[in-house]
Amino acid sequence: SFMQQPVGYEIVNGRAVMVNFGALFQNANVWVQFPHVIFSGFTTAAFFVMGISAYHLLRKKDELFRRSFQIAAVFGAISILMVILIGHSQAQHMVQTQPMKMAAAEALWETSDPASMSIFTITNQATGENTVDIRIPNVLSLLSYNRLTGKVHGMNDLQAEYEQKYGAGNYIPTIFVNYWSFRIMVGVGFLMAAIAAYALYNVLRNKPDGKFKFLGLFPFFIVLPYLSNSTGWIMTEMGRQPWVVYGLLKTQDAFSPNLTPGMVLTSLIGFTLVYGLLLVADVYLLAKFAKAGPEPVAEKGKRTTAEEAYWE
């Protein structure tokens, strides 16, 4: 949150020095970003459990999976609702503290009151215009202020304001990335809300075998929260550009002058290989144990297979 909205610091000899630790916890950005991330994690867990439970229910395995699906459906429905509600508050906070990020996410070049929401826009960032622009009047103002009117600043005005405040430079982030990452995040989020509501509806019907129409799709839904989470973080970080710390430190001023392109490339390849191998191992182990399901409860005084493997 400090990178998005720096607080509790003073500039001493060109360096940001923390002077108020408590201000970090009072940072308004923390109280919209942190719960949004936490409930996104809860949603991810719920969809994972629903997907694995559905896989086993389709194979007529164990009453345990019927119960685990029920719990995950309730948990997931509550969590995704909280993600959406808190995300709305986070977007309203962003309009006030990082208006350029929201303007780029909506491909909004000119300041508007009331402001329209983009349904589909193709923009030419080089010329500063939209070649295709389908919008709904008033909706962006409604989302920003909970009323049909309200000024939302456009990129042209913000660019001029930031040049005057921070000096010459390009303060508009990559619109294509910002625009589509925002829409994928929101679109997948509402899709998950519909899926969670459908799952909860079928859970409340309380069918004896736990099966219902489209249950076979739930293992594939496991990927949805990862997609929404990833695009949300892409927007958060890419939309902040050209800043590392918003309004305080630019990306162009943050890298080490001693680094060469070869060093960066080598590090990138190394990290990609390491994390790629970890990803393969993670997916393999998750798939292996998820397919296997739980071990039978051991009789009193006996160990399960997993316990025997541990003690050998």
3-state helix, strand, coil in the chain (%, to 5): 60, 10, 30
Contact 89, 34 (CB under 8 A): no
Cα separation of 195 and 99, whole Å? 32
- pLDDT value at residue 297: 62
- pLDDT value at residue 114: 94
Model pTM score: 0.87
Number of domains comprising the chain: 2
Q: Is residue 262 part of a domain?
A: yes
Cα separation of 150 and 164, whole Å? 24
- pLDDT value at residue 217: 94
Where in the sequence is the domain holding 248, given as residue range(s)? 9-106+171-254
Q: Quick check: 50 pLDDT over 90?
A: yes
- pLDDT value at residue 310: 43
- pLDDT value at residue 35: 94
pLDDT band at 40 (very low <50, low <70, confident <90, very high): very high
Give me the chain's average pLDDT, please. 90
Q: Is residue 158 part of a domain?
A: no
231 CB-contact burial (10 Å; exposed 0-12 / middle 13-18 / buried 19+): buried
Burial 294-307 (b: 16+ CB within 10 A, else e): eeeeeeeeeeeeee
- Range 98-123 average pLDDT: 95
Q: Are 307 and 194 members of one domain?
A: no
Domain-ending residue, one of 229, 254, 279: 254
Q: Residue 35 corresponds to which amino acid?
A: P
Q: How many helices (H) and strands (E) does the chain have?
A: 11, 6
Q: Is residue 248 part of a domain?
A: yes
- pLDDT value at residue 167: 92
Of residues 71 and 62, the one with the higher pLDDT is 71
Q: Which of 127-136, 211-220, 235-244 has the lowest mean pLDDT?
A: 211-220
Cα separation of 60 and 222, whole Å? 20
pLDDT band at 171 (very low <50, low <70, confident <90, very high): very high
Domain-ending residue, one of 254, 273, 293: 254
Distances (CA, A) of 292 to 53, 62, 186, 210: 12, 12, 34, 19
Domain-ending residue, one of 254, 269, 290: 254
- Range 149-157 average pLDDT: 95
Q: Quick check: 256 pLDDT over 80?
A: yes
Q: Which of 77-81, 114-118, 277-281, 298-302 has the lowest mean pLDDT?
A: 298-302
Q: Are 231 and 274 members of one domain?
A: no
- Which H or E run includes 206? none
Q: Quick check: 148 pLDDT over 50?
A: yes
Q: Which of 21-35, 178-192, 285-299 has the lowest mean pLDDT?
A: 285-299
Q: Are 267 and 229 members of one domain?
A: no
